[in-house]
A and B are shown apart, each in its own frame.
Chain A
Amino acid sequence: MKTALVEALRQAATQLPEDVVSALKHAREIETSPLAAAQLDAILENVEIAGSDRVPMCQDTGIQTFFVEAGAASPHLASIRDWIAEAVPAATEAIPLRPNTVDPFTGANPGNNLGRFMPWINWEIVEGDEITITILPKGGGSENMSTVKMLPPGVGIKGVKKAVIDHIVSCQGKPCPPTILGVGIGGGADIALKLGKKAVLRTIGSRHPEPEAAALEAELLELANASGVGPMGVGGATTCLAVHVEYAHRHPASLPLGILVQCWADRRARVQLRADGTVEVI
């Protein structure tokens, strides 16, 4: 299992998922600004080099975050935390990954991407006996642009739209656009952010199963791209590759809005562990 996790961490750092590559290629095809086109060409060349040389596509190999969908009947639940904690330092050395965990008080860096509460694991108990682990190595530049806003409920969904577009435009080139936005609505401050982060994990091109949320995704994407911020903030047609929405019911007095910003290097990998112990990196 440790080997599979190290392999998945390598895949995440070096191979951009096919849906992201397709979205970037589409952005290049429709781009008319030569400055923006040069950015997208450099991104696509970079992705190709990283994939063929099996080296990280970005020097910021991120904080390694794990989303575990744990089948309640899996016999391996108790081992997951240890496996992840062993795989991260091994991957840091083998790939290599940049040591990115820093003590907030002393600034000390243990050099292996471990630390207090790190790597962070998000748990979700699901039916069945399989465990699916999704890895999201997320860079600091885009995470710094993520935010939560507690809107007055009276502004409604129009207020949500304005807040999302105003925010992503104010970020300009800083989160390395074209970005993927995870928009979490409702729940509470922490829940809105968590829903947003979960929404980021979805495949580009997918839509929320409910029509209102799906329509909001399409509208926000179109509006963000009408802003003209463009690839890397140099001006152009594509500011966002995708907008994914997730929501929860809210308190009558609150309209929490979590905006999760993911850079173009939308790195993800998945490991599936069956009850019989067989493992697959998908």
Chain B
Amino acid sequence: MERELTLPIDEAQARGLRVGDILYLNGKIYTARDEAHLTMLEAREAGEDIPFDPGAMALFHCGPVVRKVGDAWDVVAAGPTTSIRMEIFEDRFVETFAPRILIGKGGMASRTQCALEKVGAVYTHYTGGAGALAAKRITGVPAVYWLEELGMPEAAWIFEVERFGPLLVTMDSAGGNLYRELDRTIEENMKAIHARIDDS
């Protein structure tokens, strides 16, 4: 089902989203790759404030190309990066900051799935490489954090977005997981493929 959502969304709304839904987002999202995840977790553990509200915005696994035009930031390309790299700390991140929508590519594993179920959040898949399309739907860059320390791809960029998508829900809070369902189909297909190769 196709849905247009305006952020922030609450836990109940997030729990209403299901695998197979295609989302288009309005509002604010923030980028975080490996380094921003670690920086934010360390800051929270040290009792420091995060300079924005990571629970009210969607979390985007992305290392964008951004350039400065006058005083403003212009996003050149901003497609998703491979999410599984963040699996080692994403459960802690989701439980700490409760972002309701995660955006990335390639899916994540069981630790993240458990955290999504516990907190009430979904993982969505954005088309890999669609950097120009993503940039087109980003209407502003109100802030960037840790740019000096982490560099352009790893900094936390805050993006204002309009109809940002298509974001395909592939992991939901009710235990739904597109990848697991697909794995079963592919396993069956592979048996037939191997038989064909043996007969060739």
Binding site for B on A (CB under 8 A): 35, 38-39, 41-43, 45-47, 49-50, 53, 55-61, 96-99, 109, 139, 141, 144, 158, 161-162, 165-166, 169, 172-174, 176, 219, 223, 226-229, 232-235, 263-265
Contacts and interface: CB of A to CB of B under 8 A. Distances in A.
B132 A50 contact: yes
Interface residues of B, number: 48
B197 A58 contact: no
A226 B192 contact: yes
Contacts of B133: 42, 45-46, 49
Given A43-B130, A176-B105, A228-B182, 8 more contacts: A57-B129, A59-B76, A59-B78, A96-B65, A96-B76, A226-B193, A232-B127, A233-B107
Interface of B: 20, 22, 62-65, 67, 76-79, 81-82, 84, 105-107, 125, 127-136, 151-153, 166, 168, 170, 178-179, 182, 185-186, 189-190, 192-194, 196-198, 200
A55 B138 CA distance: 14
A60 B132 CA distance: 11
Contacts of B106: 172-174, 233
A228 B152 contact: no
Contact of A174 (B82, B168, B186, B200): B82
Contact of A223 (B62, B151, B193): B193
Contact of B77 (A56, A158, A162, A229): A56
8 contacts: A45-B133, A50-B132, A53-B132, A55-B76, A56-B132, A57-B77, A59-B131, A223-B196
B60 to A, nearest CB: 11
B132 A223 contact: no
Nearest to B137: A49
Contact of B128 (A49, A56, A232): A232
Contact of A234 (B62, B170, B196): B170
A227 B200 contact: no
A166 B67 CA distance: 41
A19 B101 CA distance: 36
B197 A161 contact: yes
A55 B105 contact: no
B105 A232 contact: yes
Given A158-B200, A228-B182, A55 B135 contact: yes
A227 B81 CA distance: 24
Given A61-B65, A141-B82, A234-B125, A162 B197 contact: yes
Contacts of A55: 76-77, 132, 135
A47 B197 CA distance: 36
Contacts of B168: 35, 38-39, 234
Contacts of B76: 55-56, 59, 96
